Amino acid sequence: MQKLVFDIETLAPDFKDLPPNLQDHLLEKFSQEFERKSREELIKLIDEKLSLYPQFGEIIAISFYNPETKRGAVYFKWEEEIEDWTENLIDFKRFPTEEELLKKFWEIVPNYQEIITFNGNRFDIPFLLYRSLKYKIRPTYALLDRDYHIDLFEKLSFNQRIKHLSLKLTALSLGFEDPKEIYDGRNVKELVKTKDYRALTSYALKDVLVTAQIYELWSNYLRYL
């Protein structure tokens, strides 16, 4: 059975660069949820959270890993021309637009019989579907079908019996390397602004590799319970 682990990284514009009507809308929504915060605190919070929303954010990188072949890839959106490269069985490939990146994703996934994510049902997959809709790209795979998709967040929370689960905490508690030790999702915007595509792709790769390690541990010991 061909298996594919994947993970996405997302990026959103700064609050100050949004149209005034969207700024007002976001301030109103966030002020309802965080009543005691000042306007400045709300703007900082919005800037931290905006990349989690596909209405505002875009997919800047998708990392893949096949736990059977030990090969992988990081496909990333980057406007400047960059030579593709391969390192330690990982292919790094640039796409000039998010639309082309998404088209490549939907071209790849039908080749696999099992898809593995961490929190994919609540974040990665809805984000992918929403952004694909923006470009009128038809999905080629029923990613939300639990017969084909293993979401390790759901498997290891045991139907929400274990709380506060995250990729970082799961990796550390199970004895794996911290994928967020140097960078986390909050650093993506800065890496893009400083044009550090090497750091961006390295961070994206770490997430998918540790997800694959967690998957192999789960598959060996808990899969058939």
Domain membership flag for residue 41:
no
As a dihedral over the C-alpha atoms of residue 201, residue 204, residue 210, residue 211, rounded to 10 degrees, the angle is -140
Report phi then psi at 194, rounded to 5.
-90, 5
Mean pLDDT of 113-139: 97
Task: Please give the structure tokens belonging to residue 14.
Answer: 């700064």
Domain that holds residue 215: 3-10+63-221
Residue type, position 65, single letter: Y
Measured in whole angstroms, the distance separating CA 20 from the mean position of its chain's CA atoms is 28
Domain membership flag for residue 21:
no
Task: Please give the structure tokens belonging to residue 153.
Answer: 């967040």
Domain membership flag for residue 152:
yes
The pLDDT, as a whole number, for residue 22 is 92
User: What whole-number distance in Å separates Cα of residue 80 and Cα of residue 139?
Assistant: 28
CATH number at residue 190: 3.30.420.10
Task: Please give the structure tokens belonging to residue 112.
Answer: 């696999």
The pLDDT, as a whole number, for residue 182 is 57
pLDDT > 70: what percent of the chain? 97
Mean pLDDT of 2-16: 95
Nearest 5°: CA angle at 14, between 121 and 46?
Answer: 60
Q: How many domains does the chain have?
A: 1
Backbone region of residue 8 per phi and psi (left: phi > 0; alpha: psi in -120 to 50; beta: other values): beta
Mean pLDDT of 2-12: 96
On the CB side of 193, how many CA atoms lie within 13 Å of its CA? 9
Domain membership flag for residue 89:
yes
Helix (H, G, I), strand (E, B) or coil at 41: helix
Give yes or no for a contact between 137 and 106, defined as CB atoms under 8 angstroms apart.
Answer: yes
Q: How does the average pLDDT of the chain come out, rounded?
A: 93
